[in-house]
Structure 1
Amino acid sequence: MLILSACKEKKEEKTTVKAEAKTQKSVEVDTVDLIKAQPAGIEVPKGMVWIPGGTFKQGAIPQDKEAMHHEKPAHQVAVDGFFMDTTHVTNAKFSKFVKETGYLTVAERKPDWEELKKQLPEGTPKPHDSIMQPGSLVFKKTKSSVPNLYDFSQWWTWSIGTNWKNPEGPGSSIKGKDDHPVVHISYEDALAYCKWAGRRLPTEAEWEYAARAGKSDNTYFWGNDVSELSKYANTWEGEFPVNNTKVDGFEGSAPVGTFPSNDFGLYDMSGNIWEWTSDWYNTNYYKELLSKGIVLNPKGAKQPFNSTNPYAKEKVIRGGSYLCSASYCASYRISARMASTMDSSMGHLGFRTVLSVDMLSK
């Protein structure tokens, strides 16, 4: 058991910022108390890197013409330092977790209708038994152009027997892909892994702070030049969802760490796969934060709300994936964010973990 005293940088002049207390009221917090430097005597856990604490503006920058409404308004946030996985959790790491615990992912379990209908509008009929089988969503390219890119059902197919071990459907496998990110992971699955590993999921603020790595005026982690996309991220280049030109070298996921890291030493913070965060998705959350001044270590909205899907209980996912294209979502941008229901698992959704100083001191 480790007993720590947080390392804090000293300043000659103290400044104060407003932060959200547990009561959701604004209180004064001294920025000199931010945990910035890595705690003395504590080694960086294997596969992680120290993210020094600091302040930043979360959300879309003014010159980002691709930014969606829920990435605005940008607002000031202060974040304590923490350790973060340098890469997504891989098939090899998740395999070790499953081997030691016997854990079954949500995609491997037969759906519980009684639990499922609690999340659906009242009166929703029970699906046919042929649908109520273990499985997950698999991406399928279309044969021709798609006029409405908001109709996701055109390229996502429910596939019985699809899961993290069979990511492309029954008969597929992860053999030879130990270093690829694990996918078809629900929020519950990610939490189970975190509990086993003694970690947690990052908050949305921690995720974006880490992705920016001090680049406050960047649209992308490498700068503002989108023409360098294929050099820095695994995304969809070509007509989505018809033809991927594979300029970056990949059609599906790439081995973690294939592309250059950001300035904090984090890989695949843009593209490859989406990543779970711990925050509820709420359409109005950024607007609410703007009125609070600088917020210390925000942990997301009190409750979920999606104006386009009001019955859903969704979490924020970050980072984009190998399916993100300029014509579709351009979610390889740092501020890009999307929502996913907690029981969702897809062929481009996984996670990475973090470890904060307070967890080490317990």
Structure 2
Amino acid sequence: MLTALLSCLLTFGAPPDTVFVRIPVGDYQVGRKGHHLNPLRKVHVNSYYIGATEVTNRLFAAFITATGYVTDAERRHNAMVFEPGLEEFRWLEDSTACWKYPNGISRGGITDKMDHPVTCISYADIQVYCKWAGVRLPSFEEWEIASRAGASTTYFWGEDTSQLSTYANVWHGHDHLRADSTDGYMYTSPVASFKPNAFGLYDVYGNVFEFCEGHLKDEKAVHARGGSWWCSQHSCSYFNSVEIGRVNAHASFSNQGFRVVKKIN
């Protein structure tokens, strides 16, 4: 069965150099029994192509160059960033932070991080990018199916959290009072720095939260999945195929990014 589901890779013209993985049409199991937001269920999806990696600074820079678009963080000066020493779930509002300076100007730019996922962009910004690139965000179900890669477990490899460091850029410290670079990165890592899942997708867990399309229980928030570099087993352990996060559509955080879907013509 899994052999039949193995994905093919395609590169489309826009966005430039994006590699997509083909997910076959079919019925898939998503969710978890008893989960209040994401209950266990079967869904049917048509075949679709999903990005093998998150959208990078290089790809986003091409969009900015082509369109002159100004992001929410650049206009609102309200991006949220992190530095070690903050109490759990505390972030700093930095008026200088934006996609070009994802942790604020004082912490440096992206000149040497063009292969890192773009961050400090909002859901609203992503919608403009997608229209320009001729792509879209995955739905909750599409993201989950691709992340699971045929598995029915919490993680695509099973239930053993000790394997996280093999597949995901996450926070390994007990808290966030001290910097943690256990896996070589304190913030984002270049995309595809860790092992992919069986479908060939990289960084579905960790690195950055990935925005998805869909709404839950009449909420006005938008949603993101997969956890980020900030998430740990002690705080916000959303680096799995079950949990669904929530955020304002115009909020920009240094641990939020996205991957895209290309429809099959």
TM-score (norm 2): 0.90
Q: Does the 8 Å CA contact 1:44/1:83 hold for their aligned counterparts? A: no
Q: Does the 8 Å CA contact 2:10/2:19 hold for their aligned counterparts? A: no
Amino acid at match of 1:136: A
1:244 to partner: Cα distance: 4.5
1:232 to partner: Cα distance: 1.2
- The answer for unaligned runs of 5 or more in structure 2 is 13-17
Separation in structure 2 between the aligned mates of residue 341 and residue 323 of structure 1, nearest angstrom: 19
Q: 2:188 maps to what in 1? A: 253
Separation in structure 2 between the aligned mates of residue 56 and residue 242 of structure 1, nearest angstrom: 41
Separation in structure 2 between the aligned mates of residue 279 and residue 161 of structure 1, nearest angstrom: 31
Deviation digits for residues 115-141 of structure 1 (CA, Å, limit 9, x no counterpart): xxxxxxxxxxxxxxxxxxx23101122
Q: How does 1:33-182 map to 2 (within 5 A)?
A: 45=12, 46-60=18-32, 69-71=36-38, 73-110=39-76, 134-142=77-85, 146=87, 149=88, 152=89, 155-171=90-106, 172-182=108-118
Q: 2:253 maps to what in 1? A: 346
1:43 to partner: Cα distance: 5.7
Kindly report the root-mean-square deviation, in angstroms, between the aligned alpha carbons of the 2 structures.
2.1
Separation in structure 2 between the aligned mates of residue 257 and residue 37 of structure 1, nearest angstrom: 18
Amino acid at match of 1:320: G
Q: 1:276 maps to what in 2? A: 211
Tell me the percent identity.
38
Separation in structure 2 between the aligned mates of residue 221 and residue 185 of structure 1, nearest angstrom: 27
Amino acid at match of 1:98: I
Separation in structure 2 between the aligned mates of residue 276 and residue 53 of structure 1, nearest angstrom: 22
Separation in structure 2 between the aligned mates of residue 158 and residue 44 of structure 1, nearest angstrom: 37
Amino acid at match of 1:106: D
Q: Does the 8 Å CA contact 1:222/1:232 hold for their aligned counterparts? A: no
Deviation digits for residues 212-251 of structure 1 (CA, Å, limit 9, x no counterpart): 11112x2112222111111111001112222354332211
Q: How does 1:223-242 map to 2 (within 5 A)?
A: 223-242=158-177
Amino acid at match of 1:206: E
1:349 to partner: Cα distance: 0.4
Separation in structure 1 between the aligned mates of residue 172 and residue 27 of structure 2, nearest angstrom: 34
Deviation digits for residues 47-100 of structure 1 (CA, Å, limit 9, x no counterpart): 1111112222211267xxxxx6423x2111111110111100000000000001
Separation in structure 2 between the aligned mates of residue 323 and residue 61 of structure 1, nearest angstrom: 27
**Structure 1's 38 and 235: CA in aligned 2 closer, same or farther, altered over 3 A?**
closer
Amino acid at match of 1:70: L
Matched, 1:212 2:148: yes
**Structure 1's 193 and 137: CA in aligned 2 closer, same or farther, altered over 3 A?**
same
TM-score (norm 1): 0.66
Q: Highest CA radius of gyration, 1 or 2?
A: 1
SS of residue matched to 2:37: helix
Q: Extract structure 1 runs of 4+ deviating beyond 6 A.
A: 36-39
Amino acid at match of 1:354: V
